[in-house]
């Protein structure tokens, strides 16, 4: 391994820009900060609940009052379309009062600190905060300082737990509930991917064999300690796998000199029809979105029968219902 980059998520919980001396409240179930350390039973319960919500959606709509009387703020300090809308839909369908803002319309753009902004919002009577922030540890930091529940909607390169859960729910459906012994390949920029991090934690806990593939400059040193194997090539990772998850090529990585060109990337790591055929016969194609068509995923593969990308999106609403319900219920128990 020639790579000498530091692995962001091997830092202690709550670390990063928002380093805080007491352990982050990862085991306080009012919060959902990550899938690292989440027990298998909890994961399976959440997936079962997520499937119930998905069944309700398929029957015509979610009929839950789990968030009646609860006020949720979606605080997105980083761009988002699907995650933010998915949370908003889930919250509204369960009866919550919902307020949302994004980086551009927040007072942090005027110099206010993250914590001051969030304390102001809490003082207005908000019970739950769904936060996306560019700094790893931001969600844990808020969980340590705010009274209410905090759900991590993506913190820097650390975790994106509801994405990890919706990926697992999609696989649960595709694999008829059996995770043990399945093989999954994650291909792309592993280094900067909170999606990969949450997926690895959840998949490994459920007994899935995870192979990682990507440019050496984007493969964090020590990532094997999370329980995944590093494959030398995309073909090696995908051959015989039950699923492949392509990650978005973040163009800004090229500006940082970590990649030669998008063309070079596509040649070595892009998922085309030939690579897709290396999967097992029922193997599926996943992507968290947004997809750079023709870069990490070829259009014919993204639109093929093997693709479960839109299923992932639908499952996102269902899985967020389950996660929100659980955090709200735990908050009531604590209160
Ligand atoms: C991802 C994210 O923001 O972490 N997208 C998502 O939430 N579905 C991945 C990405 O932006 O590439």
223 and 9 in contact (C-beta within 8 Å)? no
In this prediction, residue 103 carries a pLDDT of 76
Query: Ligand 1 in contact with 152 (CB < 6 A)?
Result: no
Q: Which tokens in the block code for residue 114?
A: 């993250």
Partners of residue 246 on adjacent β-strands = 187
The answer to whether domain 8-160+314-334 and domain 162-311 are alike in fold is: yes
In this prediction, residue 18 carries a pLDDT of 41
b/e 113-133 (16+ beta carbons within 10 angstroms → b): ebeebbeebbeeebbbbbbbb
Instruction: Using the structure block, give the residue that is written with the tokens 């936060």.
Output: 131
Question: Is the Cα torsion angle 63, 203, 170, 164 positive or negative in sign?
Answer: positive
Query: Ligand 1 in contact with 86 (CB < 6 A)?
Result: no
In this prediction, residue 95 carries a pLDDT of 97
> One of 9, 71, 83, 157 is an active-site residue; which one?
83
Q: Helix, strand or coil for residue 67?
A: coil
Q: Which tokens in the block code for residue 308?
A: 């479960």
Query: Ligand 1 in contact with 288 (CB < 6 A)?
Result: yes
As its CATH architecture, domain 8-160+314-334 has 3-Layer(aba) Sandwich (3.40)
221 and 194 in contact (C-beta within 8 Å)? no
Q: State how far the Cα of 90 lies from the Cα of 120, in Å rounded to an integer.
A: 24
Q: Helix, strand or coil for residue 335?
A: coil
How far away, in angstroms, is 333 Cα from ligand 1 center?
A: 32
Q: Which tokens in the block code for residue 123?
A: 């003082």
Q: Is the peptide bond before 41 cis (omega within 30 degrees of 0)?
A: no
Q: State how far the Cα of 182 lies from the Cα of 191, in Å rounded to an integer.
A: 24
| pTM (2 d.p.) | 0.91
Q: Helix, strand or coil for residue 151?
A: strand
In this prediction, residue 259 carries a pLDDT of 82
Catalytic residue status for 158: no
Domain boundaries, the chain: 8-160+314-334, 162-311
Name which of 246, 238, 168, 173 is nearest 203 in CA terms: 168
In this prediction, residue 232 carries a pLDDT of 97
Per-residue pLDDT of the chain (335 residues; tens, 9 = 90+): 333 343 343 333 433 334 333 344 556 789 999 999 999 999 999 999 999 999 999 999 988 999 999 999 999 999 898 999 999 999 999 999 999 988 776 677 677 888 888 999 999 999 999 999 989 999 999 999 999 999 999 999 999 999 999 999 999 999 999 999 999 999 999 999 999 999 999 999 999 999 999 999 999 999 999 999 999 999 999 999 999 999 998 777 667 778 888 899 999 999 999 999 999 999 999 999 999 999 999 999 999 999 999 999 999 999 999 999 999 999 888 76
Q: Which tokens in the block code for residue 79?
A: 């761009």
Ligand 1 pocket: which of 290, 308, 314, 315 to mutate (most atoms <8 Å of CB)?
Answer: 290
Name which of 258, 214, 209 is nearest 234 in CA terms: 214
Q: Which tokens in the block code for residue 18?
A: 């928002």
b/e 213-233 (16+ beta carbons within 10 angstroms → b): bbbebbbbbebeebebebbee
Q: State how far the Cα of 312 lies from the Cα of 194, in Å rounded to an integer.
A: 16
Residues 6 or more apart whose Cβ sits within 8 Å of residue 140: 13, 14, 18, 20, 24, 25, 26, 33, 152, 155
Whose CA is closest to atom 12 on ligand 1?
Answer: 248
Whose CA is closest to atom 8 on ligand 1?
Answer: 288
Please give the CATH number for the structural domain made up of 162-311: 3.40.50.1370
Ligand 1 pocket: which of 85, 152, 195 to mutate (most atoms <8 Å of CB)?
Answer: 195
Q: State how far the Cα of 246 lies from the Cα of 265, in Å rounded to an integer.
A: 12
In this prediction, residue 233 carries a pLDDT of 98
Q: Which tokens in the block code for residue 169?
A: 């729910």
Catalytic residue status for 83: yes
């Amino acid at each position: 391994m020639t790579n000498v980059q530091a692995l962001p998520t091997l830092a202690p919980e709550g670390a990063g820009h928002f380093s805080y001396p007491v352990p982050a409240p990862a085991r306080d179930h009012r919060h959902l900060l990550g899938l690292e350390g989440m027990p298998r039973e909890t994961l399976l319960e959440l997936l079962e609940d997520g499937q119930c919500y998905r069944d309700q959606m398929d029957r015509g709509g979610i009929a839950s009052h789990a968030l009646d009387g609860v006020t949720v703020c979606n605080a997105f300090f980083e761009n988002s379309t699907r995650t933010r809308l998915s949370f908003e839909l889930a919250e509204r369908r369960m009866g919550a009062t919902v307020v949302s803002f994004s980086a551009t319309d927040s007072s942090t753009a005027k110099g206010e600190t993250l914590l001051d902004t969030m304390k102001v919002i809490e003082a207005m009577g908000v019970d739950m905060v769904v936060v996306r922030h560019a700094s790893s540890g931001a969600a844990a930091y808020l969980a340590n300082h705010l009274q209410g529940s905090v759900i991590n909607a993506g913190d820097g390169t650390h975790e994106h737990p509801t994405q990890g859960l919706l990926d697992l729910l999609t696989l649960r459906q595709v694999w008829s509930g059996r995770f043990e012994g399945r093989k999954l390949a994650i291909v792309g920029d592993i280094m900067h991917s909170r999606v990969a991090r949450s997926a690895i934690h959840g998949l490994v806990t459920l007994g899935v064999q995870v192979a990682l593939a990507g440019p050496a400059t984007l493969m964090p040193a020590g990532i094997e300690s999370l329980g995944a194997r590093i494959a030398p090539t995309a073909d090696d990772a995908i051959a015989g796998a039950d699923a492949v998850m392509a990650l978005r090529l973040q163009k800004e990585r090229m500006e940082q000199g970590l990649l030669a060109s998008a063309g070079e990337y596509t040649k070595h790591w892009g998922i085309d029809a030939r690579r897709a055929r290396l999967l097992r016969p029922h193997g599926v194609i996943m992507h968290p979105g947004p997809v750079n068509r023709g870069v990490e995923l070829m259009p014919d593969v993204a639109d093929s029968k093997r693709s479960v990308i839109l299923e992932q999106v639908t499952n996102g609403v269902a899985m967020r219902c389950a996660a929100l319900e659980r955090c709200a219920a735990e908050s009531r128990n604590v209160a």
